[in-house]
């Protein structure tokens, strides 16, 4: 009996051990399985795939070259922006991408300098394209680094419409190397010449473009003209600064040719040549609120070079300040040309030590001597009104063609005193110029300068008008 009781107790204890071991094994396996599921769940969310138990670092994405929405930053297209590396390809690539997107912006970011070789940025593009210049664009620094096939312009815009350039940045033509008489390496001849090329590039040129706005930027040190519009229409230039040294040759600030419907306003222009130059084929031009100087003033011409036709009309220049310029309000034509200049108004112009504040020169010559011709561009309907200040050499110089006089030239409220620094001539000079003068006039010699009448001459002049209109 005792033995049976002992056997029963031993059996019961063995059964308890078996149950405990079995339960422990199942519990461990369950915990392992649960942990495995949680690891798989975490891995699937972190992108490392199923069954991975050890975390792996996220790989660094490759650099992205391309637009961000409608913003085409040149840095996103591989530009370095260090002022040394050639960023031309990135600039062109950003332009081509933006050109296809309506309302897009090509961005030149601030605090970077981008070396750009001669480029053509071509349209037509989608409307409302903008070039936002907040950094600096640099032209190749030495004349020898320019290919001879790209000497006409640096940045050329062609066939663009509804386009704006704006920003707080600078376009630097680095023209110093072009202005000095240093040796120039000819890439094609593989030799050095004693002088730099006779052709020099314009910094920014627009060709055959419409509805263009340029505002707020700085354009400096162009080898030749700073900003040129050719065969274009609907142009607005507002609040820009253009500058180059007074000694820099032929560095016109803004140059217009075969361009109509232009407004140039609220800008500062200081160069080695004309602040604004208006050439043949221009009409409906309004230039106002400009600070000009140093330079050669605001000029129409030279017109009629090499016996060519010249047609300029409906020009208004007003509310201008000129300081230390060679000329003020000027019209210049070559002998031998033909065509007509008409309906031109220069008014409310303040001059400070300007050598020749009022000038018409129909014997313009950029050489020591030019051949005399009987034909000339006809000038009619020119108003000089409210021009005051100080002059350096001569207050009024109107030298019209001997064969075809200037007609309807008015001098009204002219108040010009000789500068104490230069002590110029008091005598106004008018040659073959018909029109009217109205007081007050200073110096008084202006009152006797113009001829009266000229009715027959006006009829002859109108016959020349048919060449243009």
Residue 296 annotated among the catalytic residues of the structure: yes
CA distance 87 to 291: 34
Neighbours of 384 (CB within 10 A): 27
Distances from the Cα of 354 to the Cαs of 260, 268, 393, 416, in angstroms? 29, 17, 8, 10
Give the max Cα distance, the chain.
162
Q: Is 277 exposed, middle or buried (0-12, 13-18, 19+ CB in 10 A)?
A: buried
Query: Are 262 and 240 in contact, with CB atoms under 8 Å apart?
Result: no
Catalytic residue among 296, 353, 361, 397: 296
For residues 276, 281, 284, 285, the Cα torsion angle rounded to the nearest 10 degrees is -10
**Residue 25: beta bridge partners?**
none
Residue 293, judged by CB atoms within 10 A of its CB (0-12, 13-18, 19+), counts as buried
**Separation CA 363–CA 372 (nearest Å):** 8
Cross-strand partners of 192: 185
The one catalytic residue among 43, 87, 230, 273: 273
Reading the block at residue 125, the tokens are 């593009």
Distance of alpha carbon 318 from alpha carbon 286, whole angstroms: 8
Burial label for 238, CB within 10 Å (0-12, 13-18, 19+), is: middle
Q: What DSSP string runs through 317-347?
A: EEEEEEESBSEEEEEEE-TT-EEEEEEEEEE
Please state, in angstroms and rounded to a whole number, the distance separating the CA atoms of residues 178 and 182. Answer: 8
Catalytic residue positions? 273, 296
């Amino acid at each position: 009996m005792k033995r049976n009781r002992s056997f029963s107790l031993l059996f019961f204890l063995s059964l308890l051990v078996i149950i405990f071991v079995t339960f422990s094994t199942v519990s461990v396996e369950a915990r392992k399985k649960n942990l495995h599921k949680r690891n798989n769940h975490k891995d699937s969310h972190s992108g490392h795939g199923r069954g991975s138990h050890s975390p792996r670092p996220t790989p660094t994405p490759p650099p992205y070259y391309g637009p961000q929405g409608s913003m085409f930053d040149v840095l996103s297209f591989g530009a370095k922006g260090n002022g040394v590396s050639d960023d031309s390809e990135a600039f062109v690539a950003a332009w081509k991408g933006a050109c296809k997107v309506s309302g897009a912006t090509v961005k030149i970011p601030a605090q970077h300098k981008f070396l750009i070789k001669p480029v053509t940025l071509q349209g037509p593009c989608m409307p409302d394209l903008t070039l936002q210049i907040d950094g600096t664009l640099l032209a190749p620094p030495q004349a020898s680094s320019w290919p001879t096939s790209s000497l006409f312009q640096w940045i050329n815009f062609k066939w663009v419409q509804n386009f704006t350039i704006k920003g707080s940045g600078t376009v630097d033509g680095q023209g110093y190397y072009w202005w000095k008489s240093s040796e120039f390496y000819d890439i094609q001849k593989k030799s050095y010449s004693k002088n730099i090329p006779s052709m020099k590039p314009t910094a920014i040129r627009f060709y055959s473009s419409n509805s263009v706005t340029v505002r707020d930027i700085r354009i400096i040190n162009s080898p030749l003209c700073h900003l040129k519009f050719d065969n274009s229409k609907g142009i607005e230039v507002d609040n820009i600064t253009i500058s180059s040294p007074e000694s820099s040759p032929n560095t016109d600030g803004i140059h217009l040719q075969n361009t109509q419907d232009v407004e140039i306003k609220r800008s500062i222009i200081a160069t080695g040549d004309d602040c604004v130059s208006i050439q043949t084929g221009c009409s409906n031009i309004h230039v106002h609120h400009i600070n000009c100087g140093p330079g050669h003033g605001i000029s129409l011409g030279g017109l009629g070079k090499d016996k060519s036709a010249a047609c300029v009309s409906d020009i208004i220049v007003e509310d201008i300040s000129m300081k230390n310029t060679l000329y003020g309000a000027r019209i210049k034509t070559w002998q031998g040309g033909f065509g007509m200049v008409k309906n031109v108004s220069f008014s409310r112009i303040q001059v400070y030590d300007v050598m020749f504040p009022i000038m018409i020169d129909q014997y313009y010559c950029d050489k020591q001597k030019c051949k005399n011709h009987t034909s000339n561009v006809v000038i009619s309907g020119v108003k000089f009104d409210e021009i005051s200040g100080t002059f350096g050499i001569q207050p009024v110089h109107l030298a019209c063609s001997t064969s075809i006089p200037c007609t309807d030239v008015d001098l009204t409220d002219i108040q010009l005193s000789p500068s104490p620094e230069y002590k110029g001539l008091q005598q106004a000079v008018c040659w073959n110029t018909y029109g009217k003068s109205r007081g007050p006039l200073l110096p008084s010699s202006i009152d006797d300068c113009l001829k009266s009448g000229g009715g027959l001459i006006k009829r002859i002049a109108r016959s020349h008008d048919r060449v243009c209109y």
